[in-house]
Amino acid sequence: MTLSENFRMERDSLGTIKVPKYAYYGAQTQRAVENFQISSKRMPRSIIRAQGIVKASAAKTNMDLELLPKSIGSAIMQAAEEVIHGKWDDHFVVDVYQAGAGTSQNMNANEVIANRATELIDPSLGYGRIHPNDHVNKNQSTNDTFHASMQIAAIEKINDKLLPALEDLYQEFDKKSIEFMAIEKTGRTHLHDAVPMRLGQEFAGYANTIRSVTNQLKLSADKLYEIGLGGNAIGTKVNSHPDYPTLVIQEVNRMTKLPFRQPENIFEFMQNTGAPIRVMTTMKELSIHLIKITSDLRLLASGPRTGLAEITLPSVQPGSTIMPGKVNPAILEMTHMVCLQVIGYEAAIANAGTASQLEINVMMPLIAHTMMESIEIMYNAVSTLTTKCISGIQGNEEICKHWMNSSLALVTAMSPIMGYDRASQIGKEADEKNITVKEVLKQKGLLTPEIEKAMEPKGLI
């Protein structure tokens, strides 16, 4: 092909521009491609799918309100359905770091759907006969549709992937807590000896931590169901049919089988990105808890000969290119890294939230991409953690017993009998002589039946 055969000329309000001949997108998308060659990252499939849902719902509503001819509306709906199912993903080409609020991303969707709908009606009509603004974007603005799309995408992925993955993780920790409840061990505070406990109690704490933060995520995510479709540019519903907002959300609900609703105040929705901020705050909390848990498990599994070695992790891959036979806690390390990334993403979204000015937050493309990336990598990490690590953990009962019997914190049991100060001296002497507390008591003739009974781990646990 010659250069002219590879391109077609399209016109927008700024003039004409060359567009790849077989691209379904048009002039405004092409300008965005040329203007924003920043990262080579595109909006995730989940956002594109949500845009298709919004555009199909809008077309159906506009037909029902007799604002679109059925021939055009039906073609737009079919084209939008194809977008939902990923048929035209290669034609969504705008960089994540683009014009504010997602205008370029919205126009990318409008142009792809308009040109595909034209083709569905009559391929001989050529590009542009169904208009991306007048038809596909009817009763809409970027400011309400892109905002809604990112919230639809987020709640779908949270419901379908992240929440079930967290439930699986909770269940696995809960199983391990039951399995390990008979194993007695020493507790540790400040990374030093503390009173005895059960390994199952430690894992029960992990299980309930996951359950609590999962419940918090459900509460935070509820705000995502508020979508301001029909608010248009700033919430005044300019150029919008009075029945459109209610009907279009009903259609979104029909398509997604989810309970989306109008915001309590449409202007709040247009001005702020409160729902993503809330979700990401909980994602940060989840990350903090997972870092704590995975760090604990790395400590408990440390060794296997020179560490605590109270648990054994499943081996998933060799751990060293120089030390033969070494196996590292790879899954736990990966999870820690993912959590650090999500904490960083939360900071980006929090700062993007401060960019809301007057009637809109122009940082929505960054918020959308970063939130969806956070949900995706957290889901993958949690699923991997559950199946490749937690489910295969074994408790080392003999090693747990060894450390428990060596613990200086056993003097705690003697404190009510002989007093805090004297018990402290016994513990100090055991430490200095590198012997057990019981051995010091025997040497001093103090190991009475009363003290021996008090020092039984079951009594302390």
Helices and strands (H and E) in the chain: how many? 19, 8
Structure tokens given for 235? 């919430």
Q: Are 102 and 28 in contact (CB under 8 A)?
A: no
Which entry of 320, 336, 402, 406 is annotated as an active-site residue?
Answer: 320
Phi and psi torsions of 381, nearest 5°? -65, -45
> In sequence order, which residues have a C-beta less than 8 Å from that of residue 36 and are 6 or more positions away?
94, 95, 97, 98, 99, 104
Phi and psi torsions of 324, nearest 5°? -60, 140
State the Cα–Cα distance between residues 193 and 372, nearest whole angstrom. Answer: 42
Phi and psi torsions of 38, nearest 5°? -110, -55
| Three-state secondary structure call for residue 424 | helix
Which entry of 13, 40, 124, 190 is annotated as an active-site residue?
Answer: 190
Instruction: Indicate if 320 belongs to the active site.
Output: yes
What is the CA angle 268-254-156, rounded to 5? 65
* CA-CA-CA-CA torsion sign (358, 360, 362, 366): positive
Q: Are 352 and 273 in contact (CB under 8 A)?
A: yes
- Of 102, 112, 110, 118, give the one whose Cα is nearest residue 134: 110
State the Cα–Cα distance between residues 125 and 135, nearest whole angstrom. Answer: 16
State the Cα–Cα distance between residues 127 and 114, nearest whole angstrom. Answer: 8
State the Cα–Cα distance between residues 76 and 70, nearest whole angstrom. Answer: 10
- Please spell the DSSP secondary structure of 253-315, one letter per residue: HHHHTS--B--SSHHHHHH--HHHHHHHHHHHHHHHHHHHHHHHHHHHT--SSSS--SEEPPP
E runs forming strands in 306-435: 311-312, 356-357, 360-361, 394-395
Q: Catalytic residues, which ones?
A: 190, 320
